[in-house]
């Protein structure tokens, strides 16, 4: 297992054609237009993870990364896709779809709990523990620590395996079609966030 750090873009043809890609982002905070995108993490479900770092003042050109994220033949796997989709659209200018969101799937099938964080999901579904100690660290630092790199990589390391188990449960509970409809809407939910409706449910009665 190796974590690879790339600056500003990934090499062309880094991943085999058509393979689904787990995606995550690290930013300077939770307000997308204010808090710049610092890191994009990627995994094809194999033993290695790839981190793409963007420097302060980056123009986010990244043609190879953009082509990968916008490739309609590849599913993009996320945990809480809504945030990552918004950050990627705002800074990289692409819609990183088709989407699969493990947090959304968890909310649809794990209705016996309100604990849908990545740490809890990995523990229950895969029997492994991950550390969230670096979650609030400075992702804009010019020198990322080994602990930061491993934390960032762990955010995409387990998504392929979790999808397999969540898909089994979605089918078992007859909610696979509902989940797919939710996943397809998530890029538009991210657009609503960027357009000024982050905390408003436009479908609510009041």
Instruction: Give the CATH number of the domain where residue 54 resides.
Output: 3.30.420.10
Q: Supply the pLDDT for residue 131.
A: 74
Domain range for 19 is 3-195
For residue 155, is it within any domain? yes
Q: What pLDDT does 134 receive?
A: 63
Q: Is 49 a member of any domain?
A: yes
In a domain, residue 204? The reply is no
48: in domain: yes
Residue 187: what pLDDT? 98
Is the residue at 190 inside a domain?
yes
Residue 86 lies in a domain: yes
Residue 56, burial from CB neighbour count under 10 angstroms (0-12, 13-18, 19+): exposed
Token pair for 68: 């990968």
* Residue 203 in domain: no
Q: What is the pLDDT of residues 41-71, one digit of tens each?
A: 999 999 999 999 999 999 999 999 999 999 9
User: What's the total number of domains in the chain?
Assistant: 1
Determine the pLDDT at residue 206: 83
The rounded mean pLDDT for the chain is 96
Average pLDDT over residues 174-199: 97
| Residue 201 included in any domain | no
Widest pairwise Cα distance in the chain: 50
pLDDT in tens, 129-177: 987 766 678 999 989 999 999 999 999 999 999 999 999 999 999 999 9
Report long-range pairs for 50-53 (Cβ below 8 Å, ≥24 apart). Answer: 50/3, 50/4, 50/6, 50/10, 50/14, 51/3, 51/4, 51/5, 51/6, 51/144, 51/149, 51/152, 51/153, 52/6, 52/7, 52/8, 52/9, 52/10, 53/5, 53/6, 53/7, 53/8, 53/144
């Amino acid at each position: 297992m190796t974590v690879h750090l790339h600056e500003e873009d990934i090499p062309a043809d880094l991943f085999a054609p058509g393979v689904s890609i787990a995606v995550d982002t690290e930013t300077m905070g939770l307000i997308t237009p204010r808090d710049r995108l610092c890191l994009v993490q990627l995994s094809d479900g194999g033993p290695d993870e790839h981190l793409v770092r963007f420097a302060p003042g980056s123009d986010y050109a990244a043609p190879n990364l953009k082509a990968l994220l916008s490739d309609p033949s590849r599913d993009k796997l996320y945990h809480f896709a809504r945030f990552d989709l918004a950050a990627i659209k705002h800074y990289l200018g692409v819609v990183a779809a088709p989407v699969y969101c493990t947090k959304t799937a968890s909310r649809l099938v794990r209705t016996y709990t309100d604990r849908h964080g990545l740490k809890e999901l990995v523990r229950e579904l895969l029997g492994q523990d991950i550390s969230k100690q670096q979650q609030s660290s400075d992702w804009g630092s010019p020198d990322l620590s080994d602990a930061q790199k491993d934390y960032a990589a762990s955010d995409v390391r387990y998504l392929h395996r979790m999808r397999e188990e969540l898909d089994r449960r979605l089918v078992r509970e007859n909610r696979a079609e509902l989940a797919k409809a939710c996943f397809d809407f998530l890029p538009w939910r991210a657009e609503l966030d960027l357009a000024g409706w982050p905390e408003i449910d436009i479908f609510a009665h009041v």
